[in-house]
Amino acid sequence: MPSNIRSLPRNLILALLHPWTWRMAWRDSRAQRIRLVVFSLAIVSGIAALVAIHSLKASVQRGIEEQAKSLLGSDLQISSRDPISDRDMAKLTALARNISRETSFPTMLRFPNGGTRMVQIRGIEGAYPFYGNVETRPTDAWSKLPGESGILLEPALLDQFQAKIGDAVEFGNLSLRILGVVEKPAPRASRFSSFAPEAYVRLSDVSRSGLLGTNSMSSQQVHLQLADPLQSSVLKEKIRADFPDSPWRLETPEDRRESLGDALEKFQQFLGILALASLALGAIGVASAVHAHINRRVATVAILRCIGCPGHLASAIYFAQAGALGLLGSLLGAGLGIGLQIGVLAYFRDRLPVTISPSPEWTAVAQTTAAGFIVCCGFSIIPLLKIRRISPVAALRGGAVLEGGAWRALPIYLLLGGLLMVLALINDPDWKTALALVGGLGIAFVALAGVARALMWVTRKVVGPRWPYLLRQGLSNLHRPRNQTLLFLLSLGLGTFLMVTILLATNLLNQRLKISQSAKSPNLYLIDVQPDQLTGVRSVIEKLKLPVLESAPMVTMRIESVRGVPVREAAGVPLWVARREFRSTYRDSMNETETLSAGEWHKTVTDPNGPVPLSLEEKIAKDLQVGIGDELTLDVQGVPVKAQVTSLRQVDWSRFNLNFFMVFPLGVLEGAPGFHVVTTRTASPAESGALQRELVMDFPNVTAIDLTQILQTVSDILAKISLVVSLLGGFTVLAGLPILIGTLLNGREVRLRESVLLRTLGASAKQVRTILVIEYAALGFLSALTGILLALAGNAALAEWVFKVSPVPDFGLLSAAFAIVTGISVIGGLALSRGVCSHPPLEVLRGS
Q: How far is CA 364 from the centre of its chain?
A: 17
DSSP helix/strand/coil, 264: helix
**What Å distances lie between residue 94 and 76, 322, 764, CA to CA?**
14, 56, 87
Q: Does 688 have pLDDT greater than 90?
A: no
The C-alpha torsion from 256 through 259 and 265 to 266, rounded to 10°, is -170
Q: Tell me, what's the pLDDT at 180?
A: 94
Q: Tell me, what's the pLDDT at 4?
A: 47
Q: How far is CA 705 from the centre of its chain?
A: 32
Helices (H), 2-71: 3-6, 8-16, 19-28, 33-68
**Binning pLDDT at 50, 70 and 90, where does residue 2 land?**
very low
Q: Does 398 have pLDDT greater than 70?
A: no
Q: Is 305 or 659 the better-scoring residue by pLDDT?
A: 659
Do the Cβ atoms of 151 and 199 come closer than 8 Å? yes
Helices (H), 195-310: 203-208, 232-242, 253-256, 263-296, 298-306
- The HSE-up count of residue 145 (CA atoms within 13 Å, CB side) is 32
Do the Cβ atoms of 698 and 543 come closer than 8 Å? no
**What Å distances lie between residue 349 and 168, 344, 399, CA to CA?**
44, 8, 54
Q: Tell me, what's the pLDDT at 663?
A: 96
Q: Is 59 or 839 the better-scoring residue by pLDDT?
A: 59
**Binning pLDDT at 50, 70 and 90, where does residue 732 land?**
low
Q: Tell me, what's the pLDDT at 513?
A: 67
**Binning pLDDT at 50, 70 and 90, where does residue 346 land?**
confident
Q: Does 58 have pLDDT greater than 80?
A: no
**Binning pLDDT at 50, 70 and 90, where does residue 510 land?**
confident
Q: Tell me, what's the pLDDT at 635?
A: 93
In sequence order, which residues have a C-beta less than 8 Å from that of residue 249 and are 6 or more positions away?
A: 78, 79, 80, 574, 576
Q: Tell me, what's the pLDDT at 562?
A: 94
**What Å distances lie between residue 689 and 163, 527, 833, CA to CA?**
12, 16, 74
User: What pTM value is reported for the model?
Assistant: 0.66
Report the alpha-carbon distance of residue 170 to residue 115 in Å, rounded.
11
DSSP helix/strand/coil, 725: helix
pLDDT tens digits, one per residue of 371-388: 778 877 777 776 677 776
Q: Tell me, what's the pLDDT at 5?
A: 42
Q: Does 503 have pLDDT greater than 90?
A: no
Q: Residue 170: count other Cβ atoms within 10 Å of its Cβ.
A: 16
**Binning pLDDT at 50, 70 and 90, where does residue 6 land?**
very low
What integer best gives the mean pLDDT of the chain? Answer: 80
Mean pLDDT of 410-429: 69
Q: Does 840 have pLDDT greater than 80?
A: no
pLDDT tens digits, one per residue of 7-52: 555 676 777 788 888 888 888 777 666 666 766 666 777 677 778 7
- The HSE-up count of residue 512 (CA atoms within 13 Å, CB side) is 28
153: left (phi over 0), alpha (psi -120 to 50) or beta: beta
Amino acid at residue number 322: A
Mean pLDDT of 324-343: 84
Mean pLDDT of 834-846: 61
Q: Tell me, what's the pLDDT at 215?
A: 46
Burial of 503: CB neighbours in 10 Å, binned 0-12, 13-18, 19+:
buried
Report the alpha-carbon distance of residue 60 to residue 159 in Å, rounded.
40
Q: Does 542 have pLDDT greater than 70?
A: yes
Mean pLDDT of 624-648: 93
pLDDT tens digits, one per residue of 62-117: 776 776 688 788 999 999 888 888 899 999 999 999 999 999 988 889 898 888 88
pLDDT tens digits, one per residue of 558-604: 999 999 999 988 888 887 788 788 989 999 999 888 889 999 999 99
pLDDT tens digits, one per residue of 133-167: 898 999 999 999 998 899 999 887 888 788 999 99
Q: Tell me, what's the pLDDT at 93?
A: 92
Q: What is the largest CA-CA distance in the chain?
A: 108
Mean pLDDT of 177-183: 93
**What Å distances lie between residue 315 and 9, 19, 322, CA to CA?**
11, 15, 10
Q: Tell me, what's the pLDDT at 259?
A: 53
**Binning pLDDT at 50, 70 and 90, where does residue 825 land?**
confident
**Binning pLDDT at 50, 70 and 90, where does residue 630 land?**
very high
Report the alpha-carbon distance of residue 499 to residue 738 in Å, rounded.
12
